[in-house]
Chains A and B, each alone.
Chain A
């Protein structure tokens, strides 16, 4: 490898790293901006003037928007592979991957828990109608069921990773369950999420897509040319 090739390779790495950093910042910022943009009129009054459960509902939506953002980072981290992460200088290891995974789980449970709490508070009784998923119910019920199944998929993907020592080779295949779960999350979000098709959130989705595309590209690049990195 001559000096010119080495220099151009290094500047390309710096460029990719910068793009990844910008995308990560946007993925983490835009959902919050969108939430604030839609919620500002609601926060501008005393809490006592809001109907029962409205705050819980708002917090549930915030948890959902960040669940998608953090889940995307987790997917990009996992898909990119160790060699690409090393090249980008973000090889934070398995502990970071686990921490992100637990953050996703926390946000998912917070989203579901706060939503059920909001509906329960408004109805005056525990909202049992969302306890079991019904994929063939009405439009809203079936889309909620999709989110429910996405949560199950993510839980399973996490569980097999935690039990990797016992599951030997199977865990790696089962861990890819996170991809269909991600698809279900996107459909759930885009079909019934209030903010999901608003400008800032659409920009966030574009950044998430770009991040996942970049992660996949780097993975294939490194698997095609094992000498890279």
Chain B
């Protein structure tokens, strides 16, 4: 009798645990279905391609990269010349952020996959910084996949990386994605 009750309790527990395990799968399915939907409106924060960024640099226009990750991640690697401003820093800076940026032609906020980059770019828009964008290649990961130069521990120094980036801008064919 008692064993039966215990077995019933255990099966109820197992059922509950399985239900919990199903939740992430459902979340993935929901996410994929959202992805499948067609976009009918333009993105509120435009996503510019690395090629567009390079063309801006080639034309001598002012491009500012904002790395929205944690400082330890920034120290590991970043796009040459980028400044490290997280959403937290931006909230502390407030309207002063716009003055610090000094009329850029393009502000590219990025992180690993541009989730945090998007939040920073959107916050910049709200501070009336025009031309804030993210990368269509999706963050520094996409930038690296394109074979574009990065700076940080284990890579070239800032000046060298900046020179490489300028070379990429002037001759995009010279910076190809690694095979």
B34-A38 in contact (CB<8A): no
Residues of A within 8 A of B (CB): 38, 41-42, 45-46, 48-57, 102, 105-106, 109-110, 112-114, 116-124, 126, 138-140, 162, 165, 191-192, 194, 197-198
Given known pairs A140-B73, A198-B91, the reply for A121 and B20 (CB within 8 Å) is no
Helix, strand, loop or mixed for chain A's interface?
helix
Asked if B178 CB lies within 8 Å of chain A CBs, one says no
With contacts A41-B126, A119-B113 taken as known, whether A51 is within 8 angstroms of B30 at the C-beta atoms is no
Which of B57-65, B99-107, B115-123, B165-173 is the interface stretch? Answer: B115-123
Bound-state Cα–Cα, A63 to B13, Å: 23
The answer to whether A116 and B41 touch across the interface, beta carbons within 8 angstroms, is no
- The bracket for how many chain B residues form the interface is 35 or more
Among B35, B76, B122, B134, point to the contact of A41 (Cβ < 8 A).
Answer: B122
Please name the residue on chain B nearest to A61 by beta carbon.
Answer: B115
- Once the chains bind, are B43 and A117 in contact (CB under 8 Å)? no
In the complex with contacts A46-B41, A102-B16, A109-B24 CB distance below 8 A: yes
Q: A55-B34, A140-B73, A165-B6 are in contact. List 15 more A-B contacts (CB 8 A).
A: A42-B118, A51-B45, A51-B47, A56-B30, A106-B23, A109-B24, A112-B24, A117-B27, A117-B30, A120-B32, A122-B114, A123-B113, A139-B76, A194-B86, A197-B88
